[in-house]
Amino acid sequence: METFSYDAWDRLLAEVVADDGKVDYERLAERRALLKEFVAELGAASPDSRPDLFACEEDGLAYWINAYNAFTLDAIVDEYPIRSVWKTRDGRFFQRRRHVAGDAAVSLDDIEHEILRSEFSEPRIHFAINCGANGCPAVRPSAYRGEGLRDTLREAARAFLANRWNCRVDHKARRIFVSRIFRMYAEDFAGGAGTREEYRRGVLRFVAEHAGLDLEQIAGYEIVYNTYDWGLNDTHRDPNIGPITFHEPVEHFAEADGELRELHLYEGNFCNRDCSWCTIHGSPDGWYQAYTAEVLDQALDSLAVDGNLKFYGGEPTLHTPEIIEAMRYVRGRGFTGLITVFSNGIQAEKLIAILEADPKTEAVLNYSIYHGRDARPMPPYARERLEEWASEHPNRIFQGYKVLFHAGGGTDQEFDRDRESEYHGMGNRCVRCFPVLTTKGRFHACPFAAEIDSPHFDLGAVGTKSGTVFENYRRFLQWVDEELDPAAEAKGVSSCEMCHRHLAELPVPEFAG
């Protein structure tokens, strides 16, 4: 029986994959003809166009894993030398349909999300497909094949978790540190849609099974997701993770949850900077209102006890004693989750004082001010001090999004292409943030629209039952899907622009009383 051939792929991998699973891209460029030969073979036949070549499900699964990896290498070598797959020309590395599989044009996202994750019930694909990042699993020096594939994938998962960067247990602290892959694809490891707690248990079950750990022993441990290294997995470049890395949120909305996993606390837009693109029009002329016990009690009532509480302004370091006291207040009333402080970092010592007041805190710096791009940079001494502290305290200070949104002061501005959300594969639709509780005592549905006083965003107030707040947040997300995003697309604007310029054209969500 004729089968799909991986001979060219085997020959290429044997020449370009190093012992540690990285890729010699300079050698790959020299052997580009062999890569193009295999890419052409993938284009000529797939499990859809030539099912006769793929006798069983495992054969089809192996094809799509190999196709993903080959198309990734081909896309990288097209633009090499680059430092990361996020540094490509058009910013659509994963979204652009630049390859053909069995006469059908596909993107890397198509293969990963629409085919591999949707059609195959196999979470261990995440330890076989490689997107060209150091945080990915090692590249296998030979092709994946249908025969014995499940065993091969099991061994790949075990090998991945054997690396301390991908899995490390601190029994004394009752924490398990794992790759952020387990956060990005929690539902794949934990099964169908459920609560955040069900996802956590599912991830722990998978890790315990494949890392040889006692599930009962680690069942109550906190999961910490390590920083993901997006640097290119190039044998000619050493990994270079700086002391202040990109921030990736841990919490996400789960349909079956009954409480907020994340909540912003907003003290106003009083700030020691007046950046033109600020989504909330922050400035020295802005307003500030102190935290009260009533507001903090409402936050505790509405937020999961182990969730993520985010102090947001304005500039929180302008009120450092109040922030520290608010942190002590919520800790004294049983909050065990993560506290995040969004700051421009200019008052470095005050930000460090906030972080040192509580061991389970983190700070997220404004990207533009930290890098001095589209904004006045932070003073050199402040940057040096924060980087010094971050080196001594890993995973406590991060830099925020590179993206600038067309909201607030940025609504009508034109941004460089690599600062647009579309460039980073985020699209133009609502990013669906968790809501905000302001120090004025109102729940607002969107931190980017916190200065828009409109019933479209009104989820409740101090005194509103937590279940009602969460139900209104769910209804707001439904309104986003059914009203906001379609209207913005029809008008040819981003959803942020729709809220800031055309909100009156949209019906108010049907919130619960």
Q: Check whether residue 302 and residue 428 sit in a common domain.
A: yes
Contact assessment for residue 192 and residue 241, using Cβ atoms and an 8 Å cutoff: no
The rounded distance, in Å, linking the Cα atoms of 427 and 404 is 13
Residue 513 belongs to a domain:
no
Residue 374 belongs to a domain:
yes
Residue 401 belongs to a domain:
yes
Domain boundary among 114, 131, 159: 159
Residue 244 belongs to a domain:
no
Q: In this structure, is the dihedral angle defined by the CA atoms of residues 292, 296, 297 and 302, taken in order, positive or negative?
A: positive
**Total number of domains constituting the chain:** 3
Q: Check whether residue 192 and residue 61 sit in a common domain.
A: no
Q: Check whether residue 363 and residue 501 sit in a common domain.
A: yes
The rounded distance, in Å, linking the Cα atoms of 130 and 139 is 7
Q: Which residues contact 50 (CB under 8 A, 6 or more apart)?
A: 4, 102
pLDDT of residue 193: 61
pLDDT of residue 240: 65
pTM of the complete model: 0.89
What is the per-residue pLDDT across 380-427, written as a single tens digit (0 to 9) for each?
999 999 999 999 998 899 999 999 999 999 999 999 999 999 888 788
Q: Check whether residue 276 and residue 221 sit in a common domain.
A: no
Q: Check whether residue 219 and residue 82 sit in a common domain.
A: no
Residue 191 structural domain: 167-225
Q: Which residues contact 459 (CB under 8 A, 6 or more apart)?
A: 435, 443, 444, 445, 469, 472, 473, 476, 511
Q: Check whether residue 321 and residue 406 sit in a common domain.
A: yes
Residue 395 belongs to a domain:
yes
The rounded distance, in Å, linking the Cα atoms of 156 and 137 is 8
Q: Check whether residue 145 and residue 188 sit in a common domain.
A: no
The rounded distance, in Å, linking the Cα atoms of 116 and 126 is 10
DSSP 8-class letter at 480:
I
Residue 245 belongs to a domain:
no
Phi, psi of 60 (to 5 degrees): -65, -40
Q: Check whether residue 280 and residue 410 sit in a common domain.
A: yes
Q: Check whether residue 479 and residue 352 sit in a common domain.
A: yes
CA dist list (Å): 511 to 97, 445, 477, 486: 40, 11, 11, 20
Q: Check whether residue 137 and residue 173 sit in a common domain.
A: no
pLDDT of residue 237: 83
CATH number of the domain that residue 370 is part of: 3.20.20
The rounded distance, in Å, linking the Cα atoms of 352 and 334 is 24
pLDDT of residue 58: 98
Q: pLDDT under 70 in the chain at which residues? A: 193, 239-240
pLDDT of residue 503: 97
Residue 429 belongs to a domain:
yes
Residue 176 belongs to a domain:
yes
Q: Check whether residue 173 and residue 152 sit in a common domain.
A: no
Phi, psi of 404 (to 5 degrees): -110, 135
The rounded distance, in Å, linking the Cα atoms of 275 and 282 is 7
Domain boundary among 124, 159, 194: 159
| Nearest CA-CA partner of 13 in 147, 155, 140, 125 | 140
The rounded distance, in Å, linking the Cα atoms of 33 and 35 is 5
Task: Please state the three-class secondary structure of 487-502 as a single string.
Answer: HHHHHCCCHHHHHHHC
The rounded distance, in Å, linking the Cα atoms of 5 and 210 is 31
The rounded distance, in Å, linking the Cα atoms of 420 and 353 is 34
| Nearest CA-CA partner of 264 in 412, 443, 138 | 443
Q: Check whether residue 17 and residue 98 sit in a common domain.
A: yes
Domain boundary among 131, 159, 187: 159
Q: Do the strands 338-343 and 303-312 form a parallel or antiparallel pair, or are they unpaired?
A: parallel
The token duo for 235 is: 């044998």
What SS3 state is found at 201? helix
